[in-house]
Amino acid sequence: MGICDLCGKENKLFTAKVEGTELNVCSECGKFGKVYKPVPPIKPPKPKQERVLPEVLDVLTADYSKLIRQAREKLGLTQEEFAKRLNERESFIQKVENGSLEPSIDTARKLEKLLNIKLVEEVVEEHLVGGKKGPQTVTIGDLVKIRTRP
């Protein structure tokens, strides 16, 4: 079943040459040209299968500031001494310990080694790939007509 190129009815289609053009027409519209063969039915495309791709992310623990302060105090170091050992400024240590600054993953790894604590966790996120796509969002490129110069 398909839609006739001449009348638009949904019917069984045939390939026909009408006024020099090959068209897919129904049996009623076939009289306007020379009918060659029936059109094979159109099979709907197979839906793409969804796959789950895991992604491993390094994330800082939620209570990193408390863990750092407790470990530093356990070693008996002041913030100034600790900053010198870490090759960072004392103000950086103060901000990290009060939670107003989140250290990068690399710096957190340095802190882990120096303090012998666990600050970085591995989190696995799963992303669906393939299958039906949801509604597409409109981008600014969709709204702007790009003019090219000849």
pLDDT string in tens for the chain (150-residue length): 778 888 888 888 888 888 888 888 888 888 888 888 887 777 777 777 777 888 888 999 999 999 999 999 999 999 999 999 999 999 999 999 999 999 999 999 999 999 999 999 998 888 777 655 555 666 666 667 666 666
Calpha distance 19→6 (Å, rounded): 12
Which pLDDT score, from 0 to 100, does residue 91 have? 95
Q: Output the pTM of the full model.
A: 0.52
List the structure tokens of 46. 């197979």
Which pLDDT score, from 0 to 100, does residue 141 have? 65
Which pLDDT score, from 0 to 100, does residue 12 have? 84
Which pLDDT score, from 0 to 100, does residue 106 have? 93
Q: How far is CA 80 from the centre of its chain?
A: 44
Calpha distance 64→70 (Å, rounded): 10
Calpha distance 76→69 (Å, rounded): 11
List the structure tokens of 139. 């981008």
Q: Calculate ∠ Cα 129-135-141, nearest 5°.
A: 100
Which pLDDT score, from 0 to 100, does residue 111 have? 92
Name all contacts of 90-99 with Cβ < 8 Å and 24+ positions apart: 96/64, 96/65, 96/68, 97/65, 97/68, 97/69, 97/72, 98/65, 99/64, 99/65
- Nearest alpha carbon to residue 101 among 58, 71, 60: 60
Which pLDDT score, from 0 to 100, does residue 26 have? 87
